[in-house]
Structure 1
Amino acid sequence: MKHRGRHRRRRRGAALRAVLAGTALALTAAATVISASQATTAGDPGALKPLTSPSDTGALRLQENLVPARTLNRLAASMGRPVGVDAVLRTADHRMRAGAQCSSGDRDSLPLSPAVTRAYCWDRAEGADTAWRPASVTTSGDADDDGVWGTHRVILTGWTHSTTTGPAAERGLARVAFVDADDPARPVYRWVLLVVPVDGGRDYRGLSSRVSGMVWHQDKLLVTTRTGSADALYVYDLDRIQRTTVDGPAIGRVPGGWSADGHGYVMPAVGSYRLPAGHCTASGARPCPGTLSLDRTTAPESLVAGEWTAPGDDRRTRLWRYTFSDAPERGGLLATDAAGVAKPVEAYRTRAGGIRGVLAYRKAGVARSSWYVGQLSGSADRHGALWRQDTGGARTAHCGSDDSRHCWAQSTGSLSYWQETGEVWSLSDRMLFSVPLAALDRSLG
C-alpha cells in the first residue's frame, strides 16, 4: 500500500530489464584473477541449525519506541515543511563513475566470481576521504515491488565516519547517499545526514553509530545502530527529510537556523527498536543486528538480520527474521504484540563468522529459503567469501587456479535483492555493484 498516495506505480519492468541487459559492464582482467595471498580456504559453515527454544529466541526480541508526533511536528514547524526523496534527487551534486572509469585499485575490490554486471565508484573526493566508509545498501526495489519510488529508481547506501580520525565532531556520524539510478550510465547522488530529535523536537543531534545494515520498506528506512546505545535499530521516514539553512560544521540549531556538518539535508529518526535487556554484548548474550535485508518471498514481507561477529570468531553466528506489519497505519514498521514487542519468527545459527551481508530468498515451488551470507576475510586486502546455506548444507563459489573460496568482494558490505530486475546489490568499501541472482546461484553450484 502506498503511503498517502505519494508513490505512483510505474510498471516498467520489461523495459528496465532491457536497459540493464544492454549496460552490462566489461571489467578488466584485474577483477578476475586471484592472487596467491588469497589461497587460504574459507571454512565450510555447514548447515543452518534452527533455533526454537525461548531462551534462544527471547534474546532477539525488540521493544518498539516511536517518537511522539508532537516532537516531529515541532521540529518541522521550526525547520520548514519536510520534503521527500524527489527533492533530494533533484539537487544531486555528486556523480558516480562507471567501472572502466574507476581505478584498478577500486576494481580489484570487486567479486571474482560471479562477474559483476554493473559497478560504480564514488566521486573522487569521496573515494579519497578514508574517514567515511560505506557498509550498507538498499534500493527502491525494497521500498516497493515495482522497483520505482515516485518516478525514480533509487539506491541508498549507508556510510559511517571513523571514530578515531578526522574532526572530533564528525567521528561516528552516519549519513546516506541518495543515488538517482534512472540513467544506469550516469548515476548521481546527494548526501543526507541521519539525526535524532532531542529536547522534544526543539533540536537534533547526529546519529553516532555504525550503519552496517539498512532496509527501505514502504516509506520507512530501518538502520542498524550499536554504538553506546541499547537501540538495535533506528527508524527513519523518507517523507520527513528536512532542509538545513546554515552551511557549517555544527549539528543542530545554531544562530541563524539549522546546521548539519555541511550537509544540505537531515533525516530525523521517527522511532527505534531496543533490545529489552539493554546493550548488545560482545559475548553474544544480547546479539547486535549487524546486517539487514528485505525478504519479499514471505507473507507478510520480512526483515532479515545477521549478527555482528568478528572474522574468525568461533562461536555460532545467529541469523533471524521479523515480520513487517500489514496494518495500513503502520507501513514500514515491524509487527508487534500488544506490548509493542517485535518477536523473531525464524532463527538459525551458522558456523560462518564475520558476516557483513545476509539475504534470504525462497524460489517458487521450493519448500525452504536459501540464506546467502557474505563474510569478511579478516584482512582488508583479501576477498571475502559468499555462502548459500539452508538446513541441508552450504555451498560457495570457487575461483582461481588454486580453487580458492575467497571469491566475493573485499571489505564486503550488506546485500539487497532487487526483485523486479533480478539483481543482487552489494558494495565493497570502494565500489557499489550488482550481480544477477541467477548468476550468483550458478557460481555457487
Structure 2
Amino acid sequence: MKHRGRHRRRRRGAALRAFLAGTALALTAAATLISASQATGGGNPGALKPLTSPADTGPLRLREHPVPARTLNRLAASMGRPVGVDTVLRSADRTMREAADCGSGDRESLPSTPAATRAYCWDRADTASPAWRPASVTTSGDADDDGVWGTHRVILAGWTHSTTTGPATERGLAKVAFVDVDGPGRPAYRWVLLVVPVDGGRDYRGLASGVSGMAWYQDKLLVTTRAGSADALYVYDLDRIQRTTVDGPAIGRVPGGWSADGYGYVMPAVGSYRLPAGHCAASGARPCPGTLSLDRTTAPAGLVAAEWTAPGTDRGSRLWRYALSGDPARGGPLATDAAGLAEPVEAYRTRASGIRGVLSYREAGASHASWYVGQLPGSLDGHGRLWRQDTDGAKAAHCGSDSTHHCWAESTGSLSYWQETGEVWSLSDRMLFSVPLAALDRSLG
C-alpha cells in the first residue's frame, strides 16, 4: 500500500505552475484535415443500453486469485530487496522529445480535433523496431488524488511485442515505461519488464499479454491480457519492483543471477482476476476486457472496462464498471465478496466496435456519468474517432469544416484522466499526448 509517511505531498504552488505553464503546443502539423479515404466506416453508435439482468452481467464477474505471499517472498529473498517507483525513475536512461523535435510522421499521428496541448515522441532506440507498440497509459493522477507518487508525477505507458515478428524470445512480451513528468521539457523514462512468478517463486517468466489497457490505483497496477487467457487481468505491486543482475536475452533465473532480456528491472505479478466460467473469448460469450481506466468521480472509485470487438464490424462492445476496494490491507484492488468475486456494479452495451480507449467521468451534481470511447477506424489504419456516450445518445468531434469524425489519434490507445490537471492522456502508435477534458467536450458536435 502507499505509505503517507513516505509520500511527500506538494502544495499547488510555484512547482505546479511551472509544470503547467508554457506546455500548450502549437501542433499545426496535427491540425491537417483527415483525407476523404479515412472518412468511411461506422456510424453514430447512439445511446448506451443498460444491462441489468443476471444473464447479461454474470459473464462480467471476476474471481480474485492472489499469488501466495510465500512465493513472492521467496523470489524477493533470491533477487534482493524490492524497490519502488522513485528508484526506477532515478535510474532513467531514455529521454522523450517534445513535439516540435519529433518527425512529421510522428506529429501526424496526433488528434486533429481537439488538438493536443502536450505531446512527446519516444527515444529513437525504442521506435527502431515496429514489433514493439505502445497501447496503454495510466498516471499517478489515477493512483492518488493529489497526482503525486513518492516524490514524482509519473506516467506509465504499456508496450506489447508482436507475437509473429522479431526475436522469438521477445514475442508477446509486455513492458512498461516509467515516465517522470515532474516539469516541462523532455521527460525521462526507464523500462520495467512485466513477469509472472513460477515454480513457487524460484523463477519467473515473461508476461505474454496484450497490454491494451492499464489502470493504477494506490500501489497496484492492473493490466489486460489476450483473448484465450485464463486470466482476464493481471495485478502488479508498484512497491515490488526487482532489479536484475545479468544483462542477457534470457528471462528468469540464469547462471550468475537473474536476467530479463536486457532490462534492468522486472515487476512480478502479485495476482490475477479470472472469469469463473472459463477463459475470456473474443467471440463475446465471456468478454475480454480490451481496455481499462480509473474513475475517481464515483464513490467508491471504480475501474471501468470495455470489451474488445473487431473494428468496422456490426458487433458492438460492452462497457462496465467494478467498484474499487478502500481496504489498503487487501492484496487486490477490486472490491470482492466473501467468495472472492468482483461483481460489475454498472454495465452497458454500445454499438461502437474497435474500442481501444474508455473513460467514465461524472460531473458534480450530474445524475449519471458520460462514457468516452476511443475507436479504431475499420481499416486498422489512419485516424480513429472519439465518442462521448450516455443513455441519451452519442456525440463526436467534427474535423474542422469536414463532416468526418475521424479526428482522433492514429491507432488510438487507452485513455486516462488526470483529475488534478484536468487532462486526458492517451497514445497514438508513435506519441504520448494529452488534451484538456474541457477542450474535448467543446469539440463535440
Specify the TM-score bucket, using the shorter chain as the normaliser.
over 0.9
How do 1:363-378 and structure 2 match up within 5 A? 363-378=363-378
List structure 1 segments (4+ residues) > 6 angstroms apart after TM superposition. Answer: none
Partner of 2:329, secondary structure, is helix
AA aligned opposite 2:440: L
Mapping of 1:257-406 within 5 angstroms? 257-330=257-330, 333-406=333-406
What's the counterpart of residue 427 of structure 1?
427
CA offset digits 1:36-81 (Å, max 9, x no partner)? 3223264100000000000110000000000111110000000000
Number of the residue aligned with 2:131: 131
Are positions 1:54 and 2:59 aligned together? no
* Whole-Å separation in 1 of the counterparts to 2:5 and 2:284: 42
What residue is the counterpart of 1:153 in the other structure?
153
Q: Which residue of 2 aligns with 1:116?
A: 116
How much does 1:444 deviate?
1.1
Segments of 5+ residues of structure 2 without an aligned counterpart are: none
Query: Which residue type is aligned with residue 64 of structure 1?
Result: E
TM-fit CA distance, 1:84: 0.3
For 1:62-118, what per-residue CA distance to the aligned partner results, in whole angstroms no more than 9, with x for missing partners? 000001111100000000000000110001000000001111101111001001100
**Residue type matched to 1:112 in 2?**
S
Identity among equivalent pairs (%): 84
Once the two structures are superposed, residues 247-281 of structure 1 have per-residue CA deviations (whole angstroms, 9 ceiling, x without a partner) of: 00000000000000000000000000001111112
Paired residue total: 445
Is contact 2:99-2:119 (8 Å) kept? yes
Q: Does 1:24 align with 2:18?
A: no
Q: Give me the whole-angstrom Cα distance separating, in 1, the residues matched to 2:17 and 2:437.
A: 14
Q: Is the 8 A contact 2:33 2:402 kept in 1?
A: no
**Equivalent in the alignment of 1:249:** 249
Q: Distance in 2 between matches of 1:65 and 1:436?
A: 37
1:289 Cα offset (Å)? 0.1
Instruction: Report the Cα offset of residue 15 of structure 1.
Output: 4.9
Q: Residues of 1 paired with 2:163 and 2:32: CA distance?
A: 34
| Larger mean Cα displacement after TM superposition, 22-31 or 110-119 | 22-31
Other-structure match for 1:222: 222
Q: Secondary structure at the match of 1:105?
A: helix
**TM score, norm. by length of structure 1:** 0.97
Residue 142 of structure 1 aligns to a residue whose secondary structure is helix
Separation in structure 1 between the aligned mates of residue 274 and residue 14 of structure 2, nearest angstrom: 41
Deviation at 1:415, TM superposition (A): 0.1
- Aligned counterparts, 1:85-234, within 5 A: 85-234=85-234
Do the aligned residues in 1 keep the contact of 2:163 with 2:172 (CA within 8 Å)? Answer: yes
CA–CA separation in structure 2 for the residues paired with 1:250 and 1:88: 21
SS in 2 for 1:82: coil
The root-mean-square deviation of aligned C-alpha atoms, in Å, is: 1.5
Give the secondary structure class of the aligned counterpart of 2:232: strand
| Offset at residue 4 of structure 1 (A) | 6.6
* Distance verdict in 2 for CA 1:231–1:14, change over 3 Å: farther
Q: What SS does the aligned partner of 2:197 have?
A: strand
